[in-house]
Amino acid sequence: MNYRRTFTPPPEIREYRKLYIIAVEGDRTETQYFNFFRSDLESESTATAIKVIPPESKSAPQHVFQNIQDYIDDPGIDGTTECWMVIDRDQWPAKVLDDIVEKCQDCGVKLCVSNPAFEFWLLLHFEKGEGITAAEVNSRNSSAKECERRLRDERYLPGFHKKLTNNHWQRLRDRLKNAISHAKELDLPPCKDYPRKRTGSTVYRLAEKLASALSKEQYKNNRDGSRERSAAQ
Protein backbone atom coordinates (compact mmCIF):
# COMPACT_ATOMS: atom_id res chain seq x y z
CA MET A 1 0.00 0.00 0.00
CA ASN A 2 1.35 3.42 -0.96
CA TYR A 3 1.40 5.79 1.95
CA ARG A 4 1.33 9.55 1.55
CA ARG A 5 1.55 11.67 4.64
CA THR A 6 -0.74 14.66 5.02
CA PHE A 7 0.82 18.00 5.83
CA THR A 8 -1.11 20.19 8.24
CA PRO A 9 0.87 23.29 9.19
CA PRO A 10 1.18 23.70 12.96
CA PRO A 11 -0.60 26.74 14.45
CA GLU A 12 2.53 28.89 14.54
CA ILE A 13 3.08 28.66 10.76
CA ARG A 14 -0.44 28.53 9.38
CA GLU A 15 -0.54 32.27 8.74
CA TYR A 16 2.28 32.60 6.23
CA ARG A 17 2.79 33.99 2.75
CA LYS A 18 5.71 31.75 1.90
CA LEU A 19 6.52 28.24 3.12
CA TYR A 20 9.79 26.42 2.51
CA ILE A 21 9.74 22.66 2.95
CA ILE A 22 13.34 21.45 3.20
CA ALA A 23 14.30 17.77 3.14
CA VAL A 24 17.86 17.24 4.39
CA GLU A 25 20.35 14.41 4.33
CA GLY A 26 21.85 14.90 7.78
CA ASP A 27 19.84 14.36 10.94
CA ARG A 28 22.09 16.64 13.00
CA THR A 29 24.05 19.43 11.32
CA GLU A 30 21.76 20.20 8.39
CA THR A 31 18.60 19.71 10.43
CA GLN A 32 19.86 22.01 13.18
CA TYR A 33 21.07 24.66 10.72
CA PHE A 34 17.71 25.09 9.04
CA ASN A 35 15.80 24.74 12.30
CA PHE A 36 17.80 27.67 13.66
CA PHE A 37 16.70 29.60 10.57
CA ARG A 38 13.11 28.53 11.31
CA SER A 39 13.32 29.69 14.92
CA ASP A 40 14.67 33.09 13.91
CA LEU A 41 11.92 33.58 11.36
CA GLU A 42 9.30 32.66 13.96
CA SER A 43 10.78 34.95 16.60
CA GLU A 44 10.78 37.87 14.16
CA SER A 45 7.16 37.19 13.18
CA THR A 46 7.92 37.19 9.46
CA ALA A 47 5.44 35.97 6.86
CA THR A 48 7.85 33.17 5.93
CA ALA A 49 7.82 29.69 7.48
CA ILE A 50 10.11 26.67 7.27
CA LYS A 51 9.34 22.99 7.63
CA VAL A 52 12.48 20.85 7.97
CA ILE A 53 12.23 17.17 7.07
CA PRO A 54 15.12 15.17 8.59
CA PRO A 55 15.99 11.67 7.35
CA GLU A 56 13.83 9.04 8.96
CA SER A 57 16.33 6.18 8.86
CA LYS A 58 18.33 6.21 5.62
CA SER A 59 20.07 9.29 4.28
CA ALA A 60 20.94 8.24 0.71
CA PRO A 61 19.79 10.82 -1.89
CA GLN A 62 16.94 8.63 -3.13
CA HIS A 63 15.55 8.36 0.40
CA VAL A 64 15.80 12.11 0.96
CA PHE A 65 13.91 12.63 -2.31
CA GLN A 66 11.22 10.21 -1.17
CA ASN A 67 10.80 12.25 2.01
CA ILE A 68 10.15 15.46 0.06
CA GLN A 69 8.05 13.71 -2.57
CA ASP A 70 5.56 12.71 0.11
CA TYR A 71 4.68 16.40 0.49
CA ILE A 72 4.62 17.54 -3.13
CA ASP A 73 1.03 16.67 -4.02
CA ASP A 74 -0.39 17.12 -0.55
CA PRO A 75 -3.63 19.16 -0.53
CA GLY A 76 -2.17 21.32 2.25
CA ILE A 77 0.52 22.56 -0.14
CA ASP A 78 -0.21 25.45 -2.51
CA GLY A 79 1.52 28.01 -4.70
CA THR A 80 3.04 29.79 -1.72
CA THR A 81 5.26 26.75 -1.03
CA GLU A 82 8.71 25.86 -2.30
CA CYS A 83 10.13 22.37 -1.84
CA TRP A 84 13.90 22.00 -1.48
CA MET A 85 16.25 19.06 -1.11
CA VAL A 86 19.68 19.47 0.54
CA ILE A 87 22.25 16.70 0.02
CA ASP A 88 26.02 16.11 -0.21
CA ARG A 89 28.00 15.25 -3.33
CA ASP A 90 29.88 12.82 -1.14
CA GLN A 91 31.02 9.58 -2.79
CA TRP A 92 27.79 8.96 -4.70
CA PRO A 93 28.15 7.83 -8.34
CA ALA A 94 27.13 10.46 -10.88
CA LYS A 95 24.27 8.23 -12.02
CA VAL A 96 22.67 8.37 -8.57
CA LEU A 97 22.79 12.18 -8.44
CA ASP A 98 21.79 12.59 -12.10
CA ASP A 99 18.69 10.52 -11.36
CA ILE A 100 17.89 12.82 -8.43
CA VAL A 101 18.39 15.90 -10.63
CA GLU A 102 15.92 14.53 -13.17
CA LYS A 103 13.35 13.63 -10.52
CA CYS A 104 13.62 17.06 -8.89
CA GLN A 105 13.16 18.80 -12.23
CA ASP A 106 10.11 16.68 -13.01
CA CYS A 107 8.50 17.45 -9.64
CA GLY A 108 9.51 21.08 -9.28
CA VAL A 109 11.79 20.40 -6.31
CA LYS A 110 14.80 22.69 -6.00
CA LEU A 111 18.09 20.91 -5.32
CA CYS A 112 21.06 22.05 -3.21
CA VAL A 113 24.29 20.04 -3.29
CA SER A 114 27.52 20.64 -1.39
CA ASN A 115 30.78 19.21 -2.69
CA PRO A 116 32.29 17.51 -0.76
CA ALA A 117 29.75 17.89 2.09
CA PHE A 118 27.46 20.29 3.95
CA GLU A 119 30.32 21.16 6.29
CA PHE A 120 31.94 22.90 3.32
CA TRP A 121 28.96 25.26 3.21
CA LEU A 122 29.47 25.99 6.90
CA LEU A 123 33.17 26.60 6.27
CA LEU A 124 32.34 29.19 3.60
CA HIS A 125 30.87 31.39 6.34
CA PHE A 126 34.45 31.96 7.55
CA GLU A 127 36.78 31.39 4.57
CA LYS A 128 36.88 30.46 0.90
CA GLY A 129 37.77 26.83 1.51
CA GLU A 130 41.09 26.91 -0.29
CA GLY A 131 42.83 23.53 -0.30
CA ILE A 132 39.60 21.54 0.08
CA THR A 133 39.24 19.05 -2.77
CA ALA A 134 36.09 17.74 -4.42
CA ALA A 135 34.54 14.41 -3.46
CA GLU A 136 35.58 11.28 -5.31
CA VAL A 137 33.20 8.52 -6.34
CA ASN A 138 33.19 5.39 -4.17
CA SER A 139 35.91 6.63 -1.85
CA ARG A 140 36.11 8.13 1.61
CA ASN A 141 36.79 11.80 1.03
CA SER A 142 39.26 13.24 3.50
CA SER A 143 38.23 16.76 2.51
CA ALA A 144 34.96 16.44 4.40
CA LYS A 145 36.97 15.63 7.54
CA GLU A 146 39.26 18.56 6.80
CA CYS A 147 36.24 20.84 6.69
CA GLU A 148 35.21 19.61 10.14
CA ARG A 149 38.76 20.09 11.46
CA ARG A 150 38.89 23.68 10.23
CA LEU A 151 35.44 24.44 11.62
CA ARG A 152 36.62 23.52 15.12
CA ASP A 153 39.06 26.45 15.02
CA GLU A 154 38.46 28.86 17.93
CA ARG A 155 37.76 31.61 15.40
CA TYR A 156 35.05 29.55 13.71
CA LEU A 157 32.90 26.99 15.59
CA PRO A 158 34.90 25.85 18.62
CA GLY A 159 33.90 22.41 19.82
CA PHE A 160 31.99 21.59 16.64
CA HIS A 161 31.39 17.91 16.02
CA LYS A 162 28.35 17.40 13.79
CA LYS A 163 26.29 19.44 16.25
CA LEU A 164 25.49 23.15 16.23
CA THR A 165 24.99 25.15 19.41
CA ASN A 166 23.21 28.48 19.80
CA ASN A 167 26.60 30.18 19.88
CA HIS A 168 27.62 28.40 16.68
CA TRP A 169 24.45 29.54 14.95
CA GLN A 170 24.97 33.15 15.95
CA ARG A 171 28.45 33.06 14.46
CA LEU A 172 27.13 31.47 11.28
CA ARG A 173 24.27 33.92 10.96
CA ASP A 174 26.55 36.90 11.47
CA ARG A 175 28.64 35.67 8.54
CA LEU A 176 25.86 34.52 6.24
CA LYS A 177 26.63 37.19 3.65
CA ASN A 178 30.21 35.91 3.54
CA ALA A 179 29.05 32.35 2.88
CA ILE A 180 26.74 33.42 0.07
CA SER A 181 29.45 35.57 -1.50
CA HIS A 182 32.11 32.84 -1.27
CA ALA A 183 29.75 30.21 -2.68
CA LYS A 184 28.83 32.44 -5.61
CA GLU A 185 32.51 33.00 -6.39
CA LEU A 186 33.06 29.25 -6.53
CA ASP A 187 29.96 28.77 -8.67
CA LEU A 188 31.35 30.51 -11.76
CA PRO A 189 30.08 29.86 -14.29
CA PRO A 190 26.94 28.84 -12.37
CA CYS A 191 26.35 25.09 -12.52
CA LYS A 192 22.99 24.13 -13.95
CA ASP A 193 22.40 21.38 -11.39
CA TYR A 194 25.23 20.76 -8.88
CA PRO A 195 29.03 21.16 -8.52
CA ARG A 196 30.11 17.88 -10.09
CA LYS A 197 33.91 17.98 -10.16
CA ARG A 198 34.74 21.07 -8.17
CA THR A 199 34.25 22.17 -4.60
CA GLY A 200 31.24 24.33 -3.99
CA SER A 201 27.80 24.51 -2.47
CA THR A 202 24.53 25.56 -4.08
CA VAL A 203 22.99 25.87 -0.61
CA TYR A 204 23.58 29.60 -1.13
CA ARG A 205 20.59 29.63 -3.50
CA LEU A 206 18.29 28.61 -0.67
CA ALA A 207 20.10 30.56 2.05
CA GLU A 208 19.82 33.77 0.05
CA LYS A 209 16.03 33.41 -0.06
CA LEU A 210 15.75 32.62 3.63
CA ALA A 211 18.06 35.48 4.56
CA SER A 212 15.94 37.94 2.59
CA ALA A 213 13.01 36.98 4.81
CA LEU A 214 14.85 37.95 7.97
CA SER A 215 14.65 41.53 9.18
CA LYS A 216 17.00 43.81 7.27
CA GLU A 217 18.55 45.07 10.49
CA GLN A 218 19.42 41.54 11.60
CA TYR A 219 20.66 40.42 8.18
CA LYS A 220 22.98 43.38 7.61
CA ASN A 221 24.63 42.70 10.99
CA ASN A 222 27.50 40.80 9.45
CA ARG A 223 31.18 41.60 9.99
CA ASP A 224 30.66 44.44 12.48
CA GLY A 225 28.23 42.40 14.57
CA SER A 226 30.42 39.33 14.57
CA ARG A 227 33.41 41.32 15.77
CA GLU A 228 31.38 42.83 18.61
CA ARG A 229 30.17 39.39 19.75
CA SER A 230 33.66 37.91 19.49
CA ALA A 231 35.00 40.68 21.72
CA ALA A 232 32.25 40.05 24.28
CA GLN A 233 32.87 36.28 24.50
**Average pLDDT of the chain?**
84
Residue 34 lies inside a defined structural domain of this protein? yes
Position 76 scores a pLDDT of 66
pLDDT at 140: 58
pLDDT tens track for 15-65? 567 899 999 998 899 999 999 999 998 887 678 889 999 988 777 899 999
What domain range is 157 assigned to? 16-227
Tell me which amino acid residue 202 is.
Answer: T
Q: How many helices (H) and strands (E) does the chain have?
A: 10, 5
**pLDDT tens sequence across 17-28:** 789 999 999 889
Choose the most confident range, by mean pLDDT, from 60-64, 200-204, 220-224: 200-204
Q: Are 66 and 4 in contact (CB under 8 A)?
A: no
φ, ψ for residue 160 (rounded to 5)? -65, 130
Would residue 100 count as lying in a domain?
A: yes
Q: Is residue 11 part of a domain?
A: no
The DSSP H or E segment spanning 32 is helix 29-43
Q: Is residue 3 one of the residues assigned to a domain?
A: no
Domain-located, residue 10: no
CA atoms within 13 A on the CB side of 16: 28
203 found inside a domain: yes
Comparing 85 with 221, the larger pLDDT belongs to 85
Kindly state whether residue 2 falls inside one of the protein's structural domains.
Answer: no
**pLDDT tens figures, 57-89:** 777 899 999 889 878 777 667 778 999 999 999
Position 145 in a domain: yes
Total domain count, the chain: 1
